Structure 1
């Protein structure tokens, strides 16, 4: 329906006195005149933008506030549609037509930019539209009242993004560093940032130079090796080759990336720009561009005292480019992840050192007399537990006797492995003194306590005398031995148990049992039988249910014991020593 007033003419005059004069001198003194003046002051003084539209959604009137917001004089609005005047603002014209049709007011949110200069690239308004009718009930158009809410909306968006960042960082604590494995920790970090922060990510760690005879790292060049990578599904096939695990990354001294990393800062690059970093990185940039990658962000992974590597992230396709805000989040995330990664790196180094020391010390035991056959195994714990201090030995003594020793130092790591070597050396020295088994343990206990050594150890000694056909035992807090009879029956040898070595209060007893001609004696550490959720008595009963053949070789018997008792990776170190007596050879 067409409006009753011309679209190109103002609906409300800006000249109040002229309007009142045209209406007749008497009108100026009546309440109607006063009401008109009040209406003008309200419309011109309000901070809300007010506009009147005709039934074709063309401007009939805008108040001064609306004109300032739009950046155009009021006269430039008249007779033109919303889209004509403000092409940069999204208007839900269909909703406005529904207000004209049913008369029910609507509240809308409009976004965009106007002709007025404004810092934000996109502004936000909340407007309410009402239908206008004349005194005869005819529809003449709409009146809209709008308030700009750009700053509150920006604040809410910033608050929401801040909350998302905090949630992201808080979640990282529980998702990254769940193991002490370096590769697994790197994979957790890469998987965590995709797709929440990037379309693809890689974690690179410092790479040692190649062995001699092959090309090493050039002087001044930082070489990293990709330890983990993660890709959004749409990029997996395209980036698999250049983002593969194991590839090397090199950053020359003085390059833009290297300068940022050396300063502990992130490096961000927009590939849509024409500049390309110099050095080996330039070739990768060209390949990235060919695959639709447009934004890169490389963040150092380091602790307060050392740089471990980098976290590299990319965005491609429709994803927005990285921003300074993203760089701040990535840097904080990398700092938290670096602490977990540093623990894993230090653990890997300490574990390798302890394991190497343990294996070096657990060389083949001293060769016993020919009348005793031995077999042994040492299994380090699974990587989730640091290597321990298990040890064993077989020593040849005078009068054809043989001494078997097995022990377990409290604790784990390099310190436990070093302590194990002290205990082993001490027991070897005591074996040559001719002492009885309980006297050996008493001397060892006192020597350790007097030395102030803070690593106690369990220890079991078994002294075999083939002439008397006996085995004499003494036990310092260790598990009892297992005897396999010539008929194939496994039996626990019951022994009194004294305190572990190193307490200084040791009181031990030698117990002599008949030998086992044709049978097998098995000494072991607790890692073979103990389980976290099982009583130790039940663990020992499992030993008596082993199915073993006494006629098998000792190596076969030991392997069968491990196969039947070890269903998975060892929770603790395992040491097993098996011995079998042969008939004496007379000369």
Structure 2
């Protein structure tokens, strides 16, 4: 307001100071050359006080070091940052004052040598309390020289960047965790095989998350007879992965497939009983012996130099399937809580794949047992007939199917040979196979011709509402007439292997698969292969991906085997020559019929 008091600390004061400075430039501190300042003690004191206020009032940590990198001065902010008094710094190097902070002194010596300023990022811990587990500073160092140009030391100015750096580190760790988990989704559970899934899990976390990893699962129904004594938890180690340099030290400690008994107090047992992760760092040898399942395992862990362990449960659909155990050794960092979170999430995702593999395994075992129990064991019921058979399930454990073979002794010394393949895989296909087998057996016992057996079987299955079609080939061997009568429901042609080792496909009229209700089957009769073997088979024996079926059949005719030896050996040689891919089941039925020498198609019966 007009006429009011003047605020000497306000803008007017600064304007007056500016005018005063312009009028009398030598009166303001920090102006003029050095000689002028040194010649005026009053100005020198003013300038020193001003500079001192700037250095000691800043939020930056300022320190002056001599040429031996010992502290000669630290400002109050530097003292607050370190948690020590100013006097505790003076005359001492950083390593003595703050042993928890690592500083590259060789870089500072280069500043002393060439005078070029350098910026450093220094990290560690000081004596002061801090919310950050790891403190980080960014500092710039300049060389100091006296009036004569002699190097007298360094000045360092630093600011703490722990907060921003921690934020960036957390973002990076979060990104790494997401990347790790996303990658796991494509590398774990690639098959329906339980052991493969466990191996993929163990090998994925080494070395991404640990130096060693094991997957332990509870025993399934097949291991009932191996249950542990009361009070002991028995698990099966399904997979073990180790850092290469640890293999000689720790491999024998717990091999894959080994049954391990866990006493009360064992780390893995604590994890499974609580359903929560178990974490321990800086484990001593006595502690290892207390938390390991067995003393010999503890010895292996100690020999490998394991210092940290993390165990997380494998839980799917509310059921604890087992555990994922991790360990770190040597110079690897201890496990953190973030590691525990990542391992827990990884285990949760992997557990669903393991549960799926377990279900597939149970279905496979059930179907395989059913299938094998229903397959007829070839026998030599008539002196003129010798048979042998083989069933091979697909390599993929989810692909147990409905392939079957059968031999049926009929009146008059005749034998019906049957080979078939139900559409699809799994337990339902095996059940359908049993249905077809029983139907064909009943019809054949009624004295029907092969094409009539197929016609009635097709109609009966279609009318029953059964939705699984099947291909089938019947071969009725009559050694007394020296003939074999064939009928096919969409099946591949039979093969004769002659005594001269030549292979020939037998042309057989082919009707539609069973279960369609279309009918239209025919029988054809041929003479017995003299001194040879008749081979019936399912498509898994010859089919290859991206190959025409005619090409596969031509490859079959190039088969050359000795027909005079045991039929099981002949089947072995056949499988070796064709080298099936293992993507589908295989059924083989070989028959040697002792008949008079004859050849060619003798007659044919066609369904009305």
Classify the TM-score, shorter chain.
0.7 to 0.9
Q: 1:66 and 1:517, CA in 2 relative to 1: closer, same or farther beyond 3 A?
A: closer
Q: 1:284 and 1:304, CA in 2 relative to 1: closer, same or farther beyond 3 A?
A: farther
C-alpha deviation, 1:525, in angstroms? 1.0
Residues 481, 522 of structure 1: 8 Å contact kept: yes
Q: Which residue in the other structure is 2:343 paired with? A: 330
C-alpha deviation, 1:338, in angstroms? 2.6
Residues 380, 573 of structure 1: 8 Å contact kept: yes
CA distance in 1, matches of 2:544, 2:486: 26
Q: Which residue in the other structure is 1:266 paired with? A: 277
Q: 1:85 and 1:251, CA in 2 relative to 1: closer, same or farther beyond 3 A?
A: closer
C-alpha deviation, 1:235, in angstroms? 4.0
Q: Which 10-residue stretch deviates more, 113-122 or 438-447? A: 113-122
Q: How does 1:576-587 map to 2 (within 5 A)?
A: 576-582=588-594
Q: Secondary structure at the match of 1:168?
A: helix
User: Do structure 1's residue 451 and structure 2's residue 464 form an aligned pair?
Assistant: yes
Residue of 161, 167, 171 corresponding to 2:173: 161
Q: Which 10-residue stretch deviates more, 367-376 or 429-438? A: 367-376
Q: Which residue in the other structure is 1:228 paired with? A: 239
User: Do structure 1's residue 243 and structure 2's residue 254 form an aligned pair?
Assistant: yes
Q: Which 10-residue stretch deviates more, 81-90 or 340-349? A: 81-90
Runs of 4 or more consecutive aligned structure 1 residues displaced over 6 Å after TM superposition: 33-38, 208-212, 253-256, 273-280
Residues 421, 538 of structure 2: 8 Å contact kept: yes
- Kindly provide the CA deviation profile for residues 67-121 of structure 1, in whole angstroms up to 9, marking residues without a partner as x: 4323355576566655565454334444334323322111112223334322335
Residue of 490, 494, 499 corresponding to 1:481: 494
Q: 1:330 and 1:543, CA in 2 relative to 1: closer, same or farther beyond 3 A?
A: same
Q: How does 1:170-569 map to 2 (within 5 A)?
A: 170-207=182-219, 216-251=227-262, 258-270=269-281, 271-272=283-284, 281=293, 283=295, 287=299, 291=303, 292-365=305-378, 369-384=382-397, 386-465=399-478, 469-485=482-498, 488-516=501-529, 518-549=531-562, 551-552=564-565, 554-565=567-578, 567=579
CA distance in 2, matches of 1:470, 1:199: 69
CA distance in 2, matches of 1:555, 1:260: 51
CA distance in 1, matches of 2:411, 2:300: 75
C-alpha deviation, 1:275, in angstroms? 6.7
Q: Which residue in the other structure is 1:12 paired with? A: none
- RMSD over equivalenced CA pairs, Å: 3.8
CA distance in 1, matches of 2:334, 2:277: 15
Residue of 63, 78, 102 corresponding to 1:90: 102
Q: Which residue in the other structure is 2:62 paired with? A: 50
C-alpha deviation, 1:403, in angstroms? 2.7
CA distance in 1, matches of 2:451, 2:193: 43
C-alpha deviation, 1:361, in angstroms? 0.9
Q: Secondary structure at the match of 2:424?
A: coil
Residues 96, 129 of structure 1: 8 Å contact kept: yes
CA distance in 2, matches of 1:294, 1:583: 76
Q: 1:419 and 1:113, CA in 2 relative to 1: closer, same or farther beyond 3 A?
A: same
Residues 544, 581 of structure 2: 8 Å contact kept: no
Q: Which residue in the other structure is 2:136 paired with? A: 124
Residues 256, 277 of structure 1: 8 Å contact kept: no
CA distance in 1, matches of 2:408, 2:467: 27
C-alpha deviation, 1:407, in angstroms? 0.6
Q: Which 10-residue stretch deviates more, 240-249 or 347-356? A: 240-249
CA distance in 2, matches of 1:475, 1:209: 41
CA distance in 1, matches of 2:400, 2:158: 71
Q: Which 10-residue stretch deviates more, 100-109 or 314-323? A: 314-323
Q: Secondary structure at the match of 1:411?
A: strand
**Where does structure 1 lack aligned partners over 5 or more consecutive residues?**
1-24
In terms of fraction of residues, the more helix-rich structure is 2
Q: 1:190 and 1:487, CA in 2 relative to 1: closer, same or farther beyond 3 A?
A: closer
Q: Secondary structure at the match of 2:387?
A: strand
- Kindly provide the CA deviation profile for residues 497-553 of structure 1, in whole angstroms up to 9, marking residues without a partner as x: 222112233432333444545544322111222222432112111222222455555
Residues 116, 142 of structure 2: 8 Å contact kept: yes
Q: 1:496 and 1:262, CA in 2 relative to 1: closer, same or farther beyond 3 A?
A: same
Residues 280, 310 of structure 2: 8 Å contact kept: yes
